[in-house]
A and B are shown apart, each in its own frame.
Chain A
Amino acid sequence: MQALKLIFGTNISSAIIFIFFGLIIFLALFLLRKMEEVKNKDAKINDLTGSLNTMDEQARLIVKTDLELSHIQEELDRKIKSLFALQRLSEILNRYLGEEIFSKINENIVNDLGFDLLAVFIKEGDRVVLKAAVGLRQPEDLFQFEELSNKKDILSFLSDRRIVGDGFSAEGFEHFHDYIRSKLGVKSFVLSLVQGKEGILGFVLLARYIKTEFFEGTREIVEILSAHIAQAVDNIRLFEELYSSKKSLEDKIKERTMDLEKALKEVEKSSRLKSEFVSAVSHEFRTPLTSIKGYASLLMQEKFGKMPEDVKLRLERIDQQSDSLVNMINDLLDISRIESGRIEISFQKSNLSEIIKRVGENLYPQISGKKIELRYGLPDKLILDIDRKLMERVITNLLSNAVKFTPEGKKIIITASLSGEKAVVHIKDEGIGIRTEDLDNVFKEFYRTDAAVKKGVKGTGLGLSLAKNIINAHKGNIKVKSRLGEGADFIFTLPVGHK
């Protein structure tokens, strides 16, 4: 107060008023400044809140994008997992051809496909039958479902729609829908038709015990799965058909084989009886024939008195015919011996070329009589293990045959050579030849070609048969190549070094 008095003199109240107003002005200025500051701070807070909200808005956007990406990724992962499961399933279905394939589908595959339960129903006749159930909690309910499926003809229903279930069209499916859910205790399911190459084969039930929104690719996966099952069922059926036709073929073959074996035994028996009969009869023929020939010979020699010339001529014919008959009987006896294995072949090293030439010399009278040119194409030595006597008969039969059928002035060529492990002999003539249809028969006993009969060429029909039997007994083969009017080429082979 004293200080105020000194400054303002006695007018203290004025001074107080001055100070008061001064303070008011100061406070007003201070407040204005503070208000400005608060305003600035509010603006800053607003800015910050705005930034925070923008940031949070961005966070929402990030979350939304991330969620979408993760959804795509999950879908992709599920698809990949399902595809791997399908691949595993396909390997199983391709590995087996019987109904055991259904037992090979395991829970892991079903789970990887995105389901808990898989049941396969396949048509057998007019009914669908449960073939596989994986991940089932109450099997008896599935059999009830099988019954219901048959009663309500589920296949007809599915044939139009192919796939029904949660997330797929299910119009008119309510009774199955409720039944499946309540009876099997599943929350989500899909039914898919199994369509084979030749029609509807059945259907597949895939389900989850928890409520599931099947992902976009589920339809595709289920379709592929159904196609795999259809192919497997087709394969099983094809295999069963093949198996049953193979079995029936085998049965038929077995039956025929038994018939053939029986027939062969009969043939063998008749052949044996025939050989025995021929052998016995031939033997019995030979004794009287020898007597006939002996008496004819004695009569010809006029041991019982003089014979008129015409009688002698006839006796000579009896003698000649007896010789032919003896030869025929000998041939028959040899054939039957060889066939029955009663003949003993005496193998010894012999020069086949020499045997051929000797036979040629023996038959020289007949060959020269018909002015036939006989040519040889033989190696100096062709040493084989053969029965010399029997081989002479083979060559004799073949060459005399050739001479018989070769017209005068023509050629007969005999060649022999080694070919690998075999000796090959050709006796080729320029005779009348053999009809193609006769080629298979010429080696049969008593078979004579029409041409031979017509031309009046004499023969018993046993020579070639005997030759064949002897060659076969030497483990060789004989055949003929010929055409009517173009001559014939008899070829036989003999093993080299056979013992």
Chain B
Amino acid sequence: MADIANIDAAFGFSRNRNIETAVKEASIQIRSKVSFSKIELCLILFTASREKVKNLAYEVKRVLNPKTVVGYHCPLLIVDRSIYEYGLTVIAFSGMEIVSGITPVTAESEDSERFILRLLRGTKYRRKSFCLFFSALSYDSVKSFSSGIERGLGRNFPFLNVFSCRELSNPFIVYNENIFSNVSAGIVLFDDVRIYLDVKSGFSPLGKGWEATSFKNNIVEEINNKPAVDFYRHYFGEKAVSSDNYFARVSRRYPLGFKTKGASRYSIAMPLSVTEEGGLVFLKNIPSDELKLMISTKEALANTLKESAENLKKNNSASKIALLFDSFFRYKFFGRGYPRQLVSAKEVLGDIPLVGGVSFYSSGVESLDKLELGHSIFEHSYSLLGVGSG
């Protein structure tokens, strides 16, 4: 066991349009909530543009003086029962030891593997409990980066990587005093930290099972020996294939589900485009196992998060904070009713603060109980991360 076991976490939130004032306000809120002697890590989640956040870390360091500052740009912020299109959240962690670093990410997965090895250098004799990554990557790099991490950390090592990419042009993160694009910032946590993680979508399988009969990397060429796009033609008619907009609409709302061997539930994969031959292009490789059409309702989505919150409370009552990284597609699914799921989750969490943001993808393990399933890229899914004392 590590020497330090008194982990504390607190957050401050501001909607001030002046980003420097906002970060000061949020930092002062943290100061007034807890009397941290030493802050190891400050996570800043913000919606402001790149030009406005130049002095972000400087301002946080002035008030809270943390060892490491990681700023993560996300389109929407979650704060307890509400979601904000504009704002800034500072989350401070104390009483735990961390190792952090940042790396540029290219389409070569070897780069991210080297980064992991560099990050873990010098921590050989410490038992590491979890890795948290914040990545600002171009869409093409997501897959290679995830494979690199998997190789670097080992197939069963628990980590969560939150991506800020896709519809956000030129994604960026703040790492200490600098702003970076096409990078990933990694934070290694040791066994003094107790983590709860649950990655779920809230979608359920519908209809008969299908099989990917021909595929090449992340392209499923044929399903049931027919062009893969016929899967969507079968359920949604010719329009799903002839209209790009309609296809995008139905594939977002009704993604594809696949179940790997040993998995208890279906993973979500959303087709990104259709090839000329009728193949479906995905973000990740799809196994040849059973495929199904996935469907959900707002109630089902809300209930799933509530269940995760209940499990967090049950399995890690020592959680000081619950970080929620939700998917933008789930947010779109809810529409204006999005806070409904936050309200039900917060009811369960009680005093444990619920903060986070909405991003596009995440990768890592599905749960700490199912490390044997390995790593995956999660779509249409939220990641609920409880952080507490080990």
Contacts and interface: CB of A to CB of B under 8 A. Distances in A.
B335 interface: yes
A427 B236 CA distance: 107
B235 A63 contact: yes
A60 B235 contact: yes
A298 B207 CA distance: 146
A471 B253 CA distance: 95
Interface residues of B, number: 15
Contacts of B62: none
A249 interface: no
A63 B336 contact: no
B72 interface: no
Contacts of B206: 59, 62-63
A59 B336 contact: no
A211 B245 contact: yes
A73 B335 contact: yes
A245 interface: no
A268 interface: no
A132 B117 CA distance: 56
B343 interface: no
A63 B293 contact: yes
Given A60-B207, A62-B295, A67 B250 contact: yes
Contact of A66 (B245, B295, B335): B295
A162 B236 CA distance: 37
A77 B336 contact: yes
A56 B208 contact: yes
A63 B254 CA distance: 8
Nearest to B243: A213
Interface string A32-53: 0000000000000000000011
B207 A67 contact: no
B208 A55 contact: yes
A74 B335 contact: yes
A343 interface: no
B314 interface: no
Contacts of A73: 335
B124 interface: no
Contacts of B336: 77, 80-81
Contacts of A53: 208
Contact of B236 (A56, A67, A80): A67
B234 interface: yes
Interface majority SS (helix, strand, loop, mixed), chain A: helix
B234 A67 contact: no
A435 to B, nearest CB: 78
Contacts of A60: 207, 234-235
A106 to B, nearest CB: 12
Contacts of A66: 295, 297
A217 to B, nearest CB: 15
Contacts, number: 37
A298 B64 CA distance: 118
Nearest to A213: B245
A368 interface: no
Nearest to B86: A108
Nearest to A62: B206
A55 B208 CA distance: 7
A83 to B, nearest CB: 12
Contact of A70 (B208, B245, B253, B293): B253
A70 to B, nearest CB: 6
Contacts of A74: 335
B63 to A, nearest CB: 30
Interface in B252-304: 253-254, 293, 295, 297
A482 B295 CA distance: 99
A63 B295 contact: yes
A114 to B, nearest CB: 14
B292 to A, nearest CB: 9
B235 A59 contact: yes
A77 B335 contact: yes
Interface in A54-101: 55-56, 59-60, 62-63, 66-67, 70, 73-74, 77, 80-81
Contacts of B245: 211, 213
Contacts of B253: 67, 70
A155 B206 CA distance: 54
A81 B336 CA distance: 9
Contact of B208 (A52, A80, A211, A213): A52
Nearest to B250: A67
B17 to A, nearest CB: 12
Given A66-B295, A67-B250, A59 B208 contact: yes
B22 to A, nearest CB: 18
Interface string A198-240: 0000000000000101000000000000000000000000000
A61 to B, nearest CB: 10
Nearest to A212: B245
Contacts of A213: 245
Most chain B beta-carbon neighbours within 10 Å: one of A53, A62, A63, A211: A63
Contacts of A62: 206, 295
Given A59-B206, A59-B293, 9 more contacts: A52-B208, A55-B208, A59-B207, A60-B234, A63-B207, A70-B253, A77-B335, A80-B336, A81-B336
Interface of B: 206-208, 234-236, 245, 250, 253-254, 293, 295, 297, 335-336
12 contacts: A52-B208, A55-B207, A59-B208, A59-B293, A60-B235, A63-B236, A63-B254, A67-B236, A67-B253, A70-B253, A73-B335, A80-B336
List the 5 shortest-distance A-B pairs measured between CB atoms, nearest first: A59-B207, A56-B208, A77-B335, A56-B207, A59-B206
